[in-house]
Amino acid sequence: MIIAIDGPAGSGKSTTARLVAKNLGFIYVDTGAMYRAVTLSWLEQGKPNIADFIQDLPSITLGINAHTNEQQTFLNGIDVSKEIRGREVTEHVSYISSLKTVREKMVEMQRNIGNAQSVVMDGRDIGTAVFPKAHLKVFMVADIRERALRRLQEMKIQSMFPLPKLEDLMITMKQRDEYDSSREIDPLRQADDAILLDTSNLTIEDQALKIIELANSIHNF
Ligand code: CDP
Q: What is the pLDDT of residues 36-82, one digit of tens each?
A: 999 999 999 999 999 999 999 999 999 998 888 789 999 999 999 99
The reply to whether ligand 1 has any atom less than 6 angstroms from the CB of 93 is yes
CA of 52 to the centre of ligand 1 (A): 23
CA angle 137, 113, 135 (to 5 degrees): 25
The reply to whether ligand 1 has any atom less than 6 angstroms from the CB of 16 is no
The predicted pLDDT at position 220 comes to: 65
Reported as a pLDDT band with limits 50, 70 and 90, residue 34 is very high
Could you give the percent of the chain with pLDDT greater than 90?
92
The predicted pLDDT at position 69 comes to: 79
Task: Encode burial over 211-220: b for 16+ CB neighbours within 10 A, e otherwise.
Answer: bbebbeeeee
Residue 131 vs residues 25, 27, 123, 127, 178: alpha-carbon distances, Å? 20, 15, 11, 5, 23
Domains annotated on the chain, with CATH: 2-212 (3.40.50.300)
Please compute the mean of the pLDDT values over residues 160-177 and round it to a whole number.
95
Could you give the percent of the chain with pLDDT greater than 70?
99
Please compute the mean of the pLDDT values over residues 90-119 and round it to a whole number.
98
Q: What is the 3-state secondary structure (H, E, C) of 183-212?
A: CCCCCCCCCCCCEEEECCCCCHHHHHHHHH
CA of 219 to the centre of ligand 1 (A): 30
The reply to whether ligand 1 has any atom less than 6 angstroms from the CB of 32 is yes
In angstroms, rounded to a whole number, what is the distance separating the alpha carbons of residues 184 and 46?
26
CA of 72 to the centre of ligand 1 (A): 16
Q: In the structure, how many helices (H) and strands (E) does the chain have? A: 8, 8
The predicted pLDDT at position 221 comes to: 66
14 CA: nearest ligand 1 atom? 1
Average pLDDT, the chain: 96
The predicted pLDDT at position 127 comes to: 98
CA of 25 to the centre of ligand 1 (A): 24
